[in-house]
Chain A
Amino acid sequence: MSPQSVLVVDDEPNIVLSLEFLMKQAGFDVRVARDGESALEAVRQQPPQVILLDVMLPRRDGYEVCQTIRANPEWRDVRILMLTAKGRQIEKEKGLAMGADDYITKPFSTREVVERVRAYMPQGET
């Protein structure tokens, strides 16, 4: 498996579809989860390098997922990019406080998302 893997977590099928396309096009290995539980399950199976994590998720929300990942020292190298459609400053701060590395507001620029994900990928191991 390629070391440059991305986990896309969102409950909107169309958004997942677009992110999947973009990540694959950028050459990353992509997996998808539709809710918080399955996101954690996917991390447990094989931690990705980067997670694109939506905040409003069924079953367990993005903050909770983020917190759970940060609570496990084995996963401290996993970079987490929060995606949210709620644009208030408070949500942004909450996400960062929960251990997210970055924060992207929807609707996002596709180029920017790709660039950010690439920036968070460990370098030199392609």
Chain B
Amino acid sequence: MNTALVAAVSLVYLLAMFAIAFWGDRRSGREGGIIQGPYVYALSIAVYCTSWTFYGSVGLAAEQGVHYLPIYLGPTLMAALWWIVLRKMVRISKINRITSIADFIASRHGKRPLLGGLVAAIALVGLVPYIALQLKAVSITFSVMVDYPVAADALVGNGAFYSDEAFYAALILAAFAILFGTRHVDASEHHSGMVAAIAFESLVKLVTFLLAGAVITFVLFSGPADLFDRAADHERLAQLFHMGSPGDYGHWIALTLVSMVAILALPRQFQVAVVENVREGHVRDAAWLFPLYLFAINLFVLPIAFAGVLLLEDSGVHPDTYVLALPLSRDWTALALVVFLGGLSAATAMIVETVALATMLGNDLVMPALLRLRWLRLDQRTDLTRLVLRIRRTAILGVILLGYAYIRATGDTLALVGMGLVSFCAVAQFAPALLGGIFWKGATRQGALAGMAAGFAVWAYTLFLPTLAHAGWVPGAFVLDGPFGLALLRPHALFGLEGLAPVTHALVWSMLVNLGAYVTVSLLTQQDAIERIQASLFVDVFRLSAGRYGISRFWRGSATVEDLFDLLRRFIGETRARRAFDEYGRRHGVDLSRTRQADAELVHLCERLLAGSVGTASARVLVSNVAQGEVVSLDEVMEILDEASQVIAYSQKLEAKSRELEAATRELRAANAQLQQLDRMKDDFIATVTHELRTPLTSIRSFTEILHDNPELEPERRQAFLGIIISESERLTRLINQVLDLAKLESGAMRWYPESWDLTRILRDASEATGQLFENKGVRLELELPDGPVPYTTDRDRLMQVIINLLSNAVKFAPEGTGRVTLRLTAEADVRVEVEDNGPGIPEAEIPHLFQKFRQVGDVLTDRPPGTGLGLVICRRIVEHLGGRIWVDPRPPGEGARFVFTLPREASPAGGEAVPEGG
């Protein structure tokens, strides 16, 4: 056939597809209509059927019989689970504005560039064979069309690239991919045009394949019965009706499983089934429409394969091209051309694949890397759209050329199906992280990273390297004898696992390693906060989004008015923030200074105000930082990357702010801990006060009841008991007074009456007031005072209280009979009062606790002297209020205790008139 004719028809067909895409884009805004319907959705999922299906299945069936089937059984089985799995992925992706599978996995694990980058890199390497497959199919079939009946087998990869059809096919398809997929930049929106074009090509490839099958079955032969009868008579074909060795079952199962996963994890399938989904309900329709499609397109695979073997076996035609060669062999050029267009349609799946891949590479690999290169100053550019588009276009071209390079490298060593399976195995590495991510909250980022990296490494070693080795790029001994002759490391029989097909072998090992690493590392590592939030957002997506489908903000959080105000103040300034809050309060009739919890509306107000200065996405992120437990996902960060112009300009600012916020959070946490400790101390205080109150009350009640019940008690005992009641009542009164004093001192409600006094007078009064105590115990009190008066302005009663307290403590601890207490006053730079006893002294370990509530040194002694445990606390409060300091001089044990307090002279207005040291 004429080269120009075939080329022209192909180009016209591709232009027609482009026109459909263009039309689809124009109509994308409208609701309803065929483009938004379930049939287009199901047909677009049929992008799964590529040249592999169109040509490769026939080739495989001709050589191995029904072994082409698992690749369609897997997706059919998976379609039954779509309502559970795919619908969940769709819901998650809508709420989180997911743009690709890399984005999906990265977002689930806390949105770190590393993970997304790994997924993108795996997809790139893994899908190169797949792209190569399509290019190879296009160029081979083109050659068949042009050169038939010359065998087309060995045409690819020979001669210079500029005389190679595959090279031009690559360039043309790259151009179309660029036209289709990168007309505008917003990856989060739907590419309705592309979807429409895919649905169209799916229809074309189905119809043409069925047409070819029907013609071959009913015109070349007289119906399927005739065809199968003749095949059964054919020696080699007859064997294909058997399943083969038991090892084949393992292969069969492995292929079914890998294709079950591929239908979800192939980037193009993720693109059409998840990203491009317009309505969740379509998943339900696709779950039966898509298997039906698979059934239909496979209907004539065996008949065509048998017909090809029966009629063309010895003609040197490659079995992959039977569907084309059969019409050509009868000179049915029109049919052949139609079939060729069907095959071309199937190959355009590659366009979707490269677009999805390029989006992923751009968003998850190239942009994050470029943003890190400060010298590019990307963060100072205001509009990055052109750059993003250029990156995507370059990526598309690069990916397709890589595919071409792969064909050149591997030559003709692999059939179409073989190349496709290499890619399937690669994308299967996403499955644990993808499926685990939506059903298992415990999966961690490190687990996903470890699983995918390990699985991918095994894939590369057991499957990808050997394909290069076949082509001679790596020494063949590497595959046959293992690296360095180590038989255990042979890529196709790792650790002695022999007897499996290479794909099954690679799948078993890579999935074992992948799942093992994923689960183990996940169990051993911890999620950070963002990851935990994302995990529950993904796993519980239905619960969380019930009733508010499509809205990504659920303010269940606990933002406080104060936090919000603080945040706002930092960005728009104190005055503006204050004004905004005041106005809000006026409008809603609330006093914000008395409200703690911010309501949703206030949160929105803050978001709006912030958005004015930092952009909507950053505003959401900032506010969500403040609103603890808020379920704003990091899709906001995603938005930021998309609205690159805004965020990049503010990203550094944002970083600084988040550091500030972190610091503020730390401070708050510390303050909170302190408050909790204070609260505990208050509880303890109340419990102790209660205890101290109950003790005297017990004695009072007991003796009162005894007196009441025993009216005939002898008078002496009566008297003694009444004495106890009186003294315990006094103790109770004292305690209550002290508690009240302390409360007043601590709250600042104590009234002070400073007057000018002679300090020596106050000290003498105090010693007289405690005289009875000393006398009772036989303790001597010595006063060492300056000769003259020491004028000083102070509150006499409070100062007396301090001195009396210290004196009664001293007498309590002084030994009976031989006790001696000294009260000393010196008035130099400061006024200094000392109270010294010759008791047992105070253990050094106790000194720091002395001035705390209810601390009694006596606690550690056998005999606890009666006291409230509040005296010294009150002393300290009073002295501190008077501007002085109180402490205990550390002394060796047994030398008694010395309490000292000082008061500043300057504090006293009367200080100037003070008589110089009296000596």
> Chain A interface (Cβ within 8 Å of chain B)?
11-12, 14-15, 17-19, 21-22, 25, 34-35, 56, 58-59, 85-88, 106-111
Contact = CB atoms under 8 A, between A and B. Distances in A.
B334 interface: no
A86 B705 contact: no
Contacts of A19: 702
A106 B698 contact: yes
Contacts of A111: 705, 709
Given A35-B862, A86-B690, A87-B690, A15 B705 contact: no
Nearest to B724: A14
Contact of B709 (A15, A34, A110): A110
Contacts of A108: 698, 701-702
B690 A58 contact: no
B697 A107 contact: yes
Contact of A85 (B698, B703, B860): B698
Contacts of B859: 58
B691 interface: yes
Contact of A14 (B728, B861, B862): B728
A111 B704 CA distance: 12
A58 B694 contact: no
Contact of B695 (A17, A22, A85, A87): A85
Interface in B666-695: 687, 690-692, 694-695
A23 B864 CA distance: 24
B706 interface: yes
Given A17-B724, A107-B694, A11 B699 contact: no
B716 interface: no
B229 interface: no
A107 B706 CA distance: 14
B863 interface: yes
A110 B705 contact: yes
B292 to A, nearest CB: 70
A12 B703 contact: no
5 contacts: A12-B695, A12-B698, A14-B703, A59-B862, A85-B694
A107 B863 contact: no
B691 A110 contact: no
B690 A85 contact: yes
A87 B695 CA distance: 12
Rank and list the top 4 A-B pairs by shortest CB-CB distance, nearest first: A18-B702, A85-B694, A14-B699, A107-B698
Contact of B862 (A21, A58, A107): A58
Given A21-B706, A108-B698, A86 B864 contact: no
B27 to A, nearest CB: 73
A21 B859 CA distance: 27
Interface in B156-202: none
Interface string B128-156: 00000000000000000000000000000
Contacts of A25: 710
A85 B724 contact: no
A58 B863 contact: yes
A21 B698 CA distance: 14
B690 A15 contact: no
Interface string B852-867: 0000000111111000
A112 to B, nearest CB: 10
A11 B864 contact: yes
| Most A-side CB within 10 Å, residue of B698, B700, B859 | B698
Contacts of A88: 687
B864 A58 contact: yes
| Most B-side CB within 10 Å, residue of A14, A18, A106, A109 | A14
Interface of B: 687, 690-692, 694-695, 697-703, 705-706, 709-710, 724, 728, 859-864
Contacts of A11: 863-864
A18 to B, nearest CB: 4
| Most B-side CB within 10 Å, residue of A22, A56, A110 | A110
| Most A-side CB within 10 Å, residue of B692, B724, B860 | B724
Nearest to B859: A58
B687 A15 contact: no
Contacts of B862: 34-35, 58-59
B724 A107 contact: no
B87 to A, nearest CB: 52
Given A14-B728, A18-B702, A106 B695 contact: yes
Contacts of B694: 85, 87, 106-107
A86 B701 contact: no
Contacts of B692: 85
A18 B703 contact: yes
A50 B772 CA distance: 41
Given A14-B728, A85-B692, A108-B701, 5 more contacts: A15-B702, A25-B710, A58-B864, A108-B698, A111-B709
Nearest to A105: B694
A35 B299 CA distance: 98
| Most A-side CB within 10 Å, residue of B692, B695, B861 | B695
B99 to A, nearest CB: 57
A111 B706 CA distance: 9
A59 B861 CA distance: 7
A56 B514 CA distance: 63
Given A14-B728, A56-B691, A110-B709, A22 B702 contact: yes
Contact of B691 (A15, A17, A85): A85
Contacts of A12: 695, 698-699
Contacts of B695: 12, 15, 85, 106
Contacts of B691: 56, 85-86
Contacts of A87: 690, 694
Contacts of A106: 694-695, 697-698
A2 B374 CA distance: 96
Given A58-B863, A85-B695, A107 B702 contact: yes
A58 B861 contact: yes
Contacts of B698: 12, 15, 85, 106-108
A18 B706 contact: yes
A103 to B, nearest CB: 14
Contacts of B706: 18, 21-22, 110
A12 to B, nearest CB: 6
Contacts of A58: 859-864
A86 B687 contact: yes
A106 B864 CA distance: 19
Contacts of A86: 687, 690-691
A18 B699 contact: yes
B705 to A, nearest CB: 4
Nearest to A91: B687
B815 to A, nearest CB: 19
B177 to A, nearest CB: 73
Nearest to A19: B702
Contacts of A14: 699, 703, 724, 728
A105 to B, nearest CB: 8
A21 B861 CA distance: 27
A21 B706 CA distance: 9
Nearest to B710: A25
A110 B690 contact: no
Contacts of A34: 862-863
A21 B702 CA distance: 10
A15 B699 contact: yes
A56 B724 CA distance: 21
Nearest to A90: B687
A18 B721 CA distance: 9
B687 A107 contact: no
Contacts of B860: 58
A59 B860 CA distance: 7
| Most B-side CB within 10 Å, residue of A19, A34, A88, A106 | A106
Nearest to A12: B695
Nearest to B860: A58
A21 to B, nearest CB: 6
B726 to A, nearest CB: 11
A102 B441 CA distance: 50
A110 B702 contact: yes
Contacts of B864: 11, 58
A11 B859 CA distance: 11
